[in-house]
Amino acid sequence: MADQFKNHIDGKWLAASSGKTFENRNPANRDDLIGHFPASDTADVDAAVEVAKKAFAGWRLVPAPKRGELLYRVGEILKKYKEDLARIETREMGKILKETRGDVQEGIDCAFYVAGEGRRLFGETTPAELPNKFAMSVRAPIGVCALITPWNFPLAIPTWKLFPALICGNTVILKPAEDTPQTAGRFVEILNEAGVPAGVVNLVHGRGEDVGAALVRHRGVQLVSFTGSAAVGREIASVCGQHLKRVSLELGGKNGQIVMEDADLDLAVEGALWGAFGTTGQRCTATSRLIVHRDVSKKITDILVARAQKIKIGDGLDESVEMGPLINQAAREKVLRYIEVGKQEGARLLIGGSIYVAGSCANGYFFQPTIFDQVKPNMRIAQEEIFGPVLSIIEINSFEEAIDVLNGTRYGLSSSIYTRDVGRAFRAMRDIEAGITYINGPTIGAEVHLPFGGVKDTGNGHREAGTTVYDIFTEWKSIYVDYSGKLQKAQIDNAE
């Protein structure tokens, strides 16, 4: 009999109030039933919000350094269970063990980094404009935060959101993706083991239409942090705007890697392979466009095709496998539709474009590494986020054209240029419209102590990770202390 998993509310493991459940299956093997999870609804959300509101009253008063010490313990426990967590992730979302170990390590790094912020969370002191008066600003927690997270980084992204929220003194309700609920449950178990008080972190499983929508609309939720598609992000922003609710959106990407004629081509190919086919292309930072100078276009295309054809596809729990499955049937159907779109638009399919069924892969959602060339910048496959192992090669004639092509989408998350010309590198840093730019590296590979996010349709201007994340999870409060013993009127008493 399959395992039965539960929500976590007020320190207790509970079934959905309706008693309904949904299945979670291994995308590499549809016969592998991981378990049944609560199909929660508004009643469960209401219960979690009420608990989080009550817990906030005490948690916000815990000194931030003490909150940091707790997060440090979380990091140590994550280290202890790193391999266990990686295997859970690979089984429920498919990417290879090397990558899921990296996902867990990112959570560990985030725990240790954010723990240190408990002794910072700096405000500012500044001279007051009147005598015998003191002025400063401090950070204050916001309240109950709803964290709605995706399936492709089922541990790292929750830690990016949850650890900063907690260090700032907020309480949270975590709503993980339906495709990766077990990782979230195991994460909450680790938070409990570290000593997070009951009610501070609550976990509610279920569909986005039910749980996610209820959290976004709930008047007891002061902040929503969401990672997912631009279409859903727009809906969330609209609802939060109506309620004047704080909202942080990390949305899609259509990332480009430029390869100039002076580039190290072997290095550029390594970057493109990792950027395009790592996580089976299911990253918001995936390299989906390779923008190549005409002088090296044929050479790099030939090398890339030869290398991509050798990628070993299969179950990510096999250490020799280099690329796992897509997350589910809907994702595979979406990729297939874009393959047909590319052909109809006149792009040339060089390799792939089909479901992969060799050996044991017939029972999973596998897809071949796919490369198109003769792609024009305005084609849909060069403009729309596919979220699969599909790379479009676009030929350009100059550095200036390369920058124009890279910037010519509605997204602006990650970007990359391969060149030996330092002048070009610095112009690219200046002129590329993206939140992240890599020089001689692929478009993927974020580090937790730098801001993460993008421009245009990639989000709403906030940044996760780094120090900027605390502007999401805190309110600024300005404080004035007048010890003059008399009424002083700013901008009046000090006017000439």
pLDDT of residue 493: 76
Q: Which domains does the chain have, with CATH numbers?
A: 3-251+459-478 (3.40.605.10), 255-439 (3.40.309.10)
Which position among 250, 385, 395, 464 bears the catalytic label? 250
250 in catalytic set: yes
pLDDT of residue 239: 96
Which position among 284, 361, 395, 464 bears the catalytic label? 284
pLDDT of residue 282: 98
| End-to-end Cα separation, the chain, in angstroms | 82
Q: Which are the contacts of 120, defined by CB distance < 8 A and separation ≥ 6?
A: none
What the block records as the tokens of 88 is 């859970």
What's this model's pTM, rounded to 2 decimal places? 0.96
Query: Tokens 């071949």 label which residue?
Result: 368
- Mutual angle of helices 64-80 and 97-117, in 10-degree steps: 160
Distance in angstroms (rounded) separating the CA atoms of residues 295 and 278: 27
Query: Tokens 């950027």 label which residue?
Result: 275
pLDDT of residue 114: 98
- Could you give the residue ranges of the DSSP H alpha helices within 125-228? 156-167, 181-194, 213-217
User: Which residues sit opposite 7 in a β-bridge?
Assistant: 14
Chain centroid to Cα 134, Å, comes to 41
User: Which residues sit opposite 35 in a β-bridge?
Assistant: 3, 24
284 in catalytic set: yes
The parts of the chain modelled with pLDDT lower than 70 are 1, 495-496
pLDDT of residue 305: 98
pLDDT tens digits, 336-375: 999 999 999 999 999 999 999 998 899 999 999 999 999 9
DSSP state of 102: H
pLDDT of residue 62: 98
pLDDT of residue 496: 64
pLDDT of residue 474: 98
pLDDT of residue 491: 85
